[in-house]
């Protein structure tokens, strides 16, 4: 899953990131998912809205996907995925330290693998890719599929 994009086109990047988030849901073994997957997004309102527009109409394993804006580490504890935009990249370390991230995938838009992100988006020659921090995923109780691992850089 590598998409070629113009690095200045934030709308396109957000759309592609949303599709990646959906594929992360499909390729990670989650514990205790009841009736919906919850994605907490720490980003500007328009980014949250765009991610919601793309993901709220999708389902996986008959479970709906709920997108909600978060603004603090404590709000991350009830999410399956927490997506932190580049604007809030400094919050990754605080979320990792201050939230119960068991069964939570922490995804960062701007690197942050060294600060505890489970997956980090990176631009490589105008292509959106991602890095996987397997240690962080395992610490959160998540099992990443071999297929997803093979797509990471």
Helix (H) or strand (E) holding 69: strand 63-69
The Cα 100–Cα 85 span in angstroms is 20
Q: What is the pLDDT of residues 4-61, one digit of tens each?
A: 444 445 558 899 999 999 999 999 998 877 889 999 999 999 999 999 999 999 989 8
**Pairing mode of beta strands 105-108, 119-124:** parallel
Average pLDDT, the chain: 86
pLDDT at 142 over 50: yes
pLDDT at 1 over 70: no
3-151: in CATH 3.40.50.2300 = yes
Partnered with residue 73 across adjacent β-strands are none
Helix (H) or strand (E) holding 105: strand 105-108
Q: What is the pLDDT of residues 89-98, one digit of tens each?
A: 888 888 888 7
Structural domain boundaries of the chain? 3-151
User: With the CA atoms of 82, 86, 88 and 92 taken in that order, what torsion angle do they form, in degrees rounded to the nearest 10?
Assistant: 50
pLDDT at 7 (0 to 100): 41
């Amino acid at each position: 899953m590598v998409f070629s994009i113009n690095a200045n086109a934030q709308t396109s990047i957000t759309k592609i990131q949303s599709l990646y988030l959906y594929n992360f849901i499909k390729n990670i073994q989650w514990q205790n998912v009841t009736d919906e997957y919850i994605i907490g997004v720490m980003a500007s309102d328009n980014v949250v809205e765009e991610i919601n527009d793309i993901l709220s109409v999708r389902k996986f394993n008959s479970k709906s996907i709920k997108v909600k804006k978060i603004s603090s580490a404590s709000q991350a504890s009830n999410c399956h995925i927490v997506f932190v935009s580049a604007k809030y990249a400094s919050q990754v370390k605080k979320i990792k330290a201050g939230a119960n991230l068991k069964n939570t995938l922490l995804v960062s838009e701007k690197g942050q693998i060294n600060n505890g992100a489970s997956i980090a988006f990176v631009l490589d020659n105008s292509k959106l890719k991602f890095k996987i921090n397997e240690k962080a995923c395992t610490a959160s109780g998540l099992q990443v599929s071999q297929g997803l691992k093979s797509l990471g850089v």
